Structure 1
Amino acid sequence: MSVKNQSRAMLLGGSAVLLWSTVATAFKLSLQWLSPVQLLGWASLFSTLVLIIAVCWQRQLGSVAIAFRERPLLCLSLGVINPAIYYLVLFRAYDLLPAQQAQAINYTWALTLSLLAVPLLKQPLRGRDMIALAGGYMGALMIATRGDLLALDFVSGEGVALAMISTLFWALYWILNARSTAPATVMLLICFLVGTPLVWALMAWKGDLGMPPLKALAGAAWVGLFEMGITFMLWLGAMRSAVHVSRVSNLIFLSPFLSLVFIRYLLDEPIAPATFIGLGMIIIAVIYQQKGEKAKPAPAEA
């Protein structure tokens, strides 16, 4: 039983949110030198290594084989989704779109979760859900069109479609992940042990196995450590330490706005007014939908 300490929980949660806020910028910078599949291949490799170290440190390495034997189909399905399919789709969206658009649209995954819960969890859509979905997706459209809703003029229609599709895979991952009884870090390691070889096989098929430049490796390492690995464990530690979980979980709503700061000053990407408006609409929709919500799976990351 972990000791409850709200100050420690807030520190861990705040650190996780700050690190997650950097990853949209890291995606975009890394994609200057790497293709989406190369970025995922190297990032997932770094993430796998740090997860192995973490699981060994927690003395749970034996649980990896046990969990896989108990639910092999579930483990394989989760690993194919995350990291393989989800990040391939997401990185391609980032490759095609301004970072501010890709990261904000991807944030609607929490709304997509309620849509997938209808056929997969047999949960009905409430009036609250439908209002939240309408507001959230209107916000995404506001961002994607840079405020010109009627013209439907996208920077990249393919990029917007991929960013939306990525939310389906991420929501599906968390719905399926809720069926696992394995420790969270163990399950995440299993996913990367399944998915990383698939990504490297794709890299080999595409002829992308050459050693990238050092700055590209540094970007992939940052993504692997702080999007996929260490930050997840910081957030998990925050949840376990929290006396008031809601106070920690609300920190996640700072992430997309902090991300815009990094995008503006590190990528030198001007932030469109429509991005602030649309992102505000999305976050208000997510908060409104989740208020009082108890039935749906509680993900560890936004």
Structure 2
Amino acid sequence: MSKLSHNAQAMIFGLGAVLLWSTVATAFSISLRHFSPTQLLLVANVVSLFFLASLLVIKGEFGSLMSYAKQSWKSSLFFGAINPFLYYLILLQAYNTLPAQEAQVINYTWAITLSFMAVPILKQRLKTADYMAAAACYFGVLYIATRGQIGSLEFSNASGVSFALVSTIIWALYWLLNTKDKRPSLVGLTLNFVFALPLIFIYAALTGELTHWDNNGLWGAIYIGLFEMGLSFVLWNKALKLTSNASQVANLIFLSPLLSIVWLSQFAGEPILHSTLVGLACILIGLFIQNWAKRKTK
């Protein structure tokens, strides 16, 4: 890989991350047949924590983890409570109540949510393209939520759609607040998982989910912890560091929901809904408008 240019390497790492992300909805769908959202999150958090901590040991940065744990335990607890604890708990509840294809497509509107939340938090201004993008994306969400019956406004599963939309708010909030986080990225992410673990464990104990485990869900939870919460972050971070054109790498994310629907139909036995395809097209158009406007501005 040393003979390849940095941009070529960045595209390879970026594609690797996107391919892993595209399999996550399938892993969620299969694992939630055996585990509750809380049980799945608990196992995945432990696996991801071991993976991230191992990376720090290999890089010789484990000492800095201990140092930052003492210095910034309050911010680590705060960020860990948002992600992975609250974010994944709500996201997995969306996957538990909606078809996985609908939950993952709606979740992709978080970039639009972030733009609107950046106004009060980062004092940014919205442009015409942001409103156009939001209109396209949320029309897509409405189309998915009503299974194409927009005129009747009868939601197929209002609670599931609500969980999916709330997850986009939490994810956007996390990244907006993360812009003010002074911790190194890998150290900060690892500490989030360290401080989230007792929160998840206590919640699981209070809700009686530390008993009645179905071992058939274990491998899926390990896969999610290792690849969705761990390796994909490392690959994506590496891609963004190597590239001289971040927008080019970021555009790879458009592949993920398309591939995800294919994997869901092939491996999770979930039939592809016409309303999902139409809604996804609207959401991708909205995201494209937003990205195009940002690139034009730059």
> Which TM class, normalised by the smaller chain length?
over 0.9
User: What are the residue-to-residue correspondences of 1:1-302 with 2, within 5 Å?
Assistant: 5-210=6-211, 212-293=213-294
What code does the residue aligned with 2:167 have?
S
User: What is the rounded CA distance, in whole Å, between the counterparts of 2:222 and 2:44 in structure 1?
Assistant: 6
**Structure 1 residues 44 and 226, CA, compared in 2 at 3 Å: closer, same or farther?**
same
Native 8 Å contact 2:116 2:126 kept in 1: yes
Structure 2's unaligned 5+ residue stretches are: none
SS at match of 1:43: helix
Segment drifting more, 141-150 vs 62-71: 62-71
- State whether residues 79 and 191 of structure 1, in contact with CA within 8 Å, keep that contact through their aligned partners in structure 2: yes
* TM-aligned CA deviation for residue 244 of structure 1: 3.1
* C-alpha separation in 2, matches of 1:175 and 1:71: 18
User: One-letter code of the match for 1:153?
Assistant: E
- Cα offsets for 1:205-246 (capped at 9, x unmatched): 222223734331101001111111111101111112224332
Answer whether contact 1:20 1:227 (CA < 8 A) is retained: yes
Contact 1:97 1:155 in 2 (8 A): no
The CA distance in 2 between the partners of 1:221 and 1:260, in whole Å, is: 22
Question: TM-score, normalized by length of structure 1?
Answer: 0.92
Instruction: Provide the rounded CA distance (Å) in 2 between the counterparts of 1:117 and 1:138.
Output: 21
CA RMSD, 1 decimal:
1.8
Render the CA deviation track for 1:71-95: whole Å, top value 9, x for unaligned.
Answer: 4433222110001000110111111
Query: How far, CA to CA, are the matches of 1:290 and 1:71 in structure 2?
Result: 34
When structure 1 is superposed on structure 2, of 68-77 and 32-41 the one drifting more is 68-77
- Opposite residue 55 of structure 1, the aligned amino acid is L
* Bigger mean CA offset, 73-82 vs 168-177: 73-82
Count of equivalent residues? 293
Kept after mapping to 2: 8 A contact 1:4/1:243: no
- Residue 271 of structure 1: how far off its partner (Å): 1.1
**Contact 2:129–2:293 (8 Å) recurs in 1:** no
1:38 shift after superposition: 0.5
Q: What fraction of aligned residue pairs are identical, expressed as a percent?
A: 44
Cα distance between partner residues in 2 of 1:73 and 1:121: 22
If the length of structure 2 is used for normalisation, what is the TM-score? 0.93
CA shift digits 1:262-294 (9 cap, x unpaired)? 111112211112211211111121121133438
Q: Deviations over 1:90-139 (max 9, x none)?
A: 11111100111100001100000011111111112222211111111111
Structure 1 Cα separation of the partners of residues 179 and 288 of structure 2: 21
41-50 vs 266-275, which moves further: 266-275
- Specify the code of the residue in structure 1 equivalent to 2:11: M
Whether the 8 Å CA contact 1:50–1:229 is kept in 2: the answer is yes
Distance 1:271 1:126 in 2: 35
Q: Which amino acid in the other structure matches residue 77 of structure 1? A: F
Q: CA deviation at 1:65?
A: 3.5
Q: What is the deviation of 1:61?
A: 1.6
